[in-house]
Amino acid sequence: PVRVLTGITTSGTPHLGNYVGAVRPAIAASRAANTESFYFLADLHSLIKAQDPARTQRSTLEIAATWLAAGLDPDKVWFYRQSDIPEITELTWLLTCVAGKGILNRAHAYKAAVDRNRADGEDDDAAVTAGLFMYPVLMAADILIFNADQVPVGRDQVQHIEMARDFGQRFNHVYGRDYFVLPEAVVDEQVATLPGLDGRKMSKSYGNTIPLFVPPAELRKLVFSIVTDSRAPGEPKQVEGSALFQLYQAFASREDTAAFAQAYADGIGWGEAKQTLFDLVEREIAPLRERYLNLVSRPGDIEDTLRDGARRLRERYATPLLAQLREAVGLRDLS
């Protein structure tokens, strides 16, 4: 079977970008015939930015409940928390020792931090942790440990998957065997990067997100706060560069998207356009929201599901793989 794997960092409340960029395509992929899916909560990654223990725990619960509310079936999909699989951290070290530092220097998140420091007249690495720098190696371990073929993600993660291929390939080359499958990113071109309220990429770090499961009245308020230009009703509107249009497209069929583009050309007023978008999103999210609220009220059940997933997955794949890799590199067998 084709192995599909993806994760979400537990550093905040899940938003529409996570849903259309990762959760929705991943759930759809998990229902295809002949696939084995691995979906997880990247709580080790969250420590890079969020150093508030209560928040990390809360976010873990919320993101787990999001996956389940969106239709993930833990009997058919491997569903787990990254930190419950210590073999992932162990593999991170093995990969660290073959990963080129020069490649990590080019990672977007690290480079952005360096650029900010330069702009502020600081040292290149001021306030940059080794965790931020090593982020792509941990992510490569997440992917390579289960030999994933496909990784559904938003466009912002594609570079990380290319790095996972690079590190996996180097390991295979150095130790003379194909221990790792080289993964491919799968990006849904309809939504590749969902914009946020201000038109930039929807992101926790920009504070421009639409949280997935806010009450309908708040969702409507947020949709009405999306930036638009100053064209009045009756004046033709531009679909290019319109965050409102891109959000609509991420939730609508092709025909409805074409009709909405026509409404833009015909000069639909922004109020009406926003109401149309709200109705569309609310229709898709409402049933999920109900399941979500029910799930977060039973954290013990979610905890049991996650632990059970990790336990089975370690036994089935992670422990045997690490035994094989320890032998490959010349370390003692732990068993």
What residues make contact with ligand TYM under the rule CB under 6 A? 5-9, 17-18, 21-22, 42, 45, 139, 142-143, 151, 153-154, 156-157, 191, 193-194, 201-203
Q: Which residues pair with 195 in a beta bridge?
A: 201
For the CB of residue 65, give the shortest distance to ligand TYM in the complex, in Å: 15
Cα-Cα-Cα-Cα dihedral sign, residues 45, 10, 287, 73 = positive
Task: Decide the pairing of beta strands 35-42 and 2-9.
Answer: parallel
For the CB of residue 193, give the shortest distance to ligand TYM in the complex, in Å: 5
Kindly tell me which of 140 and 268 has the beta carbon lying closer to ligand TYM.
140
Whether residue 269 is annotated as binding a ligand: the answer is no
Asked whether 91 and 141 are in contact (CB, 8 A), the reply is yes
Alpha helix ranges (H) inside the chain: 16-18, 24-30, 43-46, 53-69, 86-96, 101-105, 108-119, 130-144, 158-174, 216-224, 243-251, 254-265, 270-296, 299-313, 319-329
For the CB of residue 202, give the shortest distance to ligand TYM in the complex, in Å: 4
Whether residue 163 is annotated as binding a ligand: the answer is no
* Tokens encoding 257: 């998207």
For the CB of residue 142, give the shortest distance to ligand TYM in the complex, in Å: 4
Whether residue 274 is annotated as binding a ligand: the answer is no
Kindly tell me which of 2 and 331 has the beta carbon lying closer to ligand TYM.
2
Whether residue 204 is annotated as binding a ligand: the answer is yes
Kindly tell me which of 7 and 309 has the beta carbon lying closer to ligand TYM.
7
Helix (H, G, I), strand (E, B) or coil at 8: strand
For the CB of residue 183, give the shortest distance to ligand TYM in the complex, in Å: 8
Kindly tell me which of 113 and 143 has the beta carbon lying closer to ligand TYM.
143
For the CB of residue 10, give the shortest distance to ligand TYM in the complex, in Å: 8
Cα-Cα-Cα-Cα dihedral sign, residues 312, 139, 66, 31 = negative
Kindly tell me which of 6 and 228 has the beta carbon lying closer to ligand TYM.
6
**Edge-to-edge strands, sheet with 184-186:** 78-81, 35-42, 2-9, 150-152, 184-186
Whether residue 198 is annotated as binding a ligand: the answer is no
Whether residue 100 is annotated as binding a ligand: the answer is no
H-helix or E-strand containing 81?
strand 78-81
Kindly tell me which of 65 and 268 has the beta carbon lying closer to ligand TYM.
65
Whether residue 172 is annotated as binding a ligand: the answer is no
Whether residue 201 is annotated as binding a ligand: the answer is yes
Asked whether 274 and 244 are in contact (CB, 8 A), the reply is yes
Length of the chain: 335
Which residue numbers belong to the known binding site?
9-11, 17-18, 142, 154-156, 194, 201-205
Q: Which residues are annotated as a binding site for L-tryptophan?
A: 142
* Residues annotated in a binding site for ATP: 9-11, 17-18, 154-156, 194, 201-205
